[in-house]
Amino acid sequence: MENYGTVQQKISCVFETAVLDEPSGKRDYQQFKVVATDVLKRSATDSDISTALATEKLDGTCVFIKQYNGLPWLWARFDRKPNKNAEKRFRKFQTEQSKGDNPDQHAKFNWNPLKDFKQVPDDWIPADGIEIVDGFPQPDDIGHTPGWVPVDPKCRQHCWHLSAVNLNKGVGLFLRQDEEEISGRLLIEALPLSELEGCTAELIGTNINANPYASPSSYQSNMAHKDANTGFKESSY
């Protein structure tokens, strides 16, 4: 087997960011936009980014292979999010910070882990690497806590996840590059989920994230992630 990795955290942008005084293209309530500049972050330079190899990120939805009830299982991405009241407070805090109304520009928003978040399914688990304080997983800079839920064969929201695996037999469809072909041809193969336990993959296909790869009708597959030192795509503003 190849040396597959696991994606459990968001990746920080390698460029410095700037705040523009114009409405966000993603969030209707947000009256500012955060964009990347062409200036590299000091942390990226210190990490010797000049020797790094740039790769294309497959844009689907992240899945996790992990045991559930003693069986190798596919887990779907599920972020814990703030409830309506906490979201309003957080929006106000973000607006004040962006306009410089808060005298402490390094202040952090104070979340109440018992009152500020929506309920998550009973089997929800936080992603690896999430900071835990007093037993509570901590949200990221946009108030979300990345995590996972086991794919439920009875859940309509998981129908496309289920089209790429057979949980009863413990196998899944995976897309990989043919290492014997110079052209980089892609191969589809059925692999035991047990061989990829602890790894993550990108679920892509006809019905995933607007099908940017023009996959054939009603087709879904997983592309296993490589390199353990990677993370979730950073949320855009």
Which are the contacts of 231, defined by CB distance < 8 A and separation ≥ 6?
A: 7, 8, 9, 10, 11
Torsion of CA 221, 226, 232, 233, to 10 degrees: -80
Residue 172, SS3 per DSSP: strand
Q: Residue 7's pLDDT is what?
A: 64
The answer for residues whose C-beta is within 8 angstroms of residue 77's C-beta and 6 or more apart is 61, 62, 63, 64, 146, 147, 148
* Nearest Cα residue to 86 out of 116, 63, 45: 116
Tell me the three state secondary structure of residue 55.
Answer: coil
Helix, strand, coil shares, percent, the chain, to 5: 15, 35, 50
Q: Locate 156 and state its tokens.
A: 């309509």
Q: For residue 64, what pLDDT is reported?
A: 95
E strands, the chain, are 7-10, 15-20, 33-40, 61-68, 71-77, 125-126, 132-133, 136-137, 147-150, 165-166, 171-177, 186-192, 200-205, 220-224, 230-232
- pLDDT reported for residue 125: 97
Give the pLDDT score at 119.
Answer: 96
Q: How much is the pTM?
A: 0.74
Residue ranges, the chain, pLDDT below 70: 1-11, 26-30, 55-58, 101-105, 181-184, 209-237
